[in-house]
Chains A and B, each alone.
Chain A
């Protein structure tokens, strides 16, 4: 029988970076984020609920991490509810970005050359801020795909999403990030 215990090292290798970045975006503290990854994996290996019952290890581990995040916020006396980590409404409209006739509400501007941003500390602070402002599901998919390099296929499998779900989430994440960077960095 494959037990959770013998899998923990593989999980650390495979999902450690993702879990870390997910936690780091929310707690904004490297050491705390590392501790949360550790707590998550420890909870996973001692859980009676084996991953064999799950179709996606990533979703399962992320679920455990979300609970750890909430515990950690409580310990710090911060008001925090699961709703902040789970989308309340999947059908959020795009009317923040587009008028009913499909035209832009705010016309996008061209951004500077990316290389010019790489060396700016300020840029990375803002980029991180913009990422933490994404809706939970958008942030999860964007992180996995664009920052950790997962293929669309793996994103579908790991997050239990259809290809359409994925491109809708990516479109929204990109609109939101573009808008956020324009507001806080370009302008």
Chain B
């Protein structure tokens, strides 16, 4: 039987890769019996959702205008 530390590890891995049949069954069984780890799994999905939106919401990407400005500086440097 998995403990919560191992189960949370597998739940996190499952977000990024396909678990083996055994790992998957062990995780499913644990989640069925453990409210805390089910909640953690829900947090993982929450984090994935908000991270995908954070680029726009927090502005984690270079603004087009900044990108153009930097591109120009780099180009000038190149020709100088």
Residues of A within 8 A of B (CB): 5-6, 8-9, 12, 16-17, 20-21, 24, 30, 34, 37-38, 41-42, 45-46, 94, 97-98, 101-104, 107-111, 114, 117-118, 123-124, 127-128, 142-143, 145-149, 152, 163, 166-167, 170-171, 174-175, 177-178, 181
A12 touches B39 (CB 8 A): no
List which B35-54 residues lie within 8 A (CB) of chain A: 35-37, 39-40, 42-54
Which of B9, B53, B60 interacts with A20 by CB under 8 Å?
A: B60
A111 touches B8 (CB 8 A): no
Interface string of B64-77 (1 = CB under 8 A from A): 00110111011101
Alpha-carbon distance A97/B8, docked complex (angstroms): 11
Alpha-carbon distance A171/B15, docked complex (angstroms): 10
What are 5 contact pairs spanning A and B, CB under 8 A?
A: A34-B66, A42-B74, A103-B5, A170-B12, A171-B13
A37 surroundings in chain B (CB, below 8 A): 62, 66, 70
B8 touches A171 (CB 8 A): yes
Q: How far is the CB of B47 from chain A (nearest CB, A)?
A: 6
Residues of B within 8 A of A (CB): 3-6, 8-9, 12-13, 15-17, 35-37, 39-40, 42-55, 57-63, 66-67, 69-71, 73-75, 77-78
A interface majority secondary structure: helix
On whether A12 and B70 interact (CB within 8 A), knowing A108-B43, A167-B16, A175-B8, the answer reads yes
A21 surroundings in chain B (CB, below 8 A): 60-61
A181 surroundings in chain B (CB, below 8 A): 43
**Nearest neighbor of B6 in chain A, beta-carbon distance:** A102
Which of A12, A20, A127, A146 interacts with B52 by CB under 8 Å?
A: A146
Which of B9, B16, B60, B74 interacts with A147 by CB under 8 Å?
A: B60
Which of A17, A110, A152 interacts with B39 by CB under 8 Å?
A: A110
Q: How far is the CB of A124 from chain B (nearest CB, A)?
A: 5
A98 touches B5 (CB 8 A): yes
B70 touches A174 (CB 8 A): no
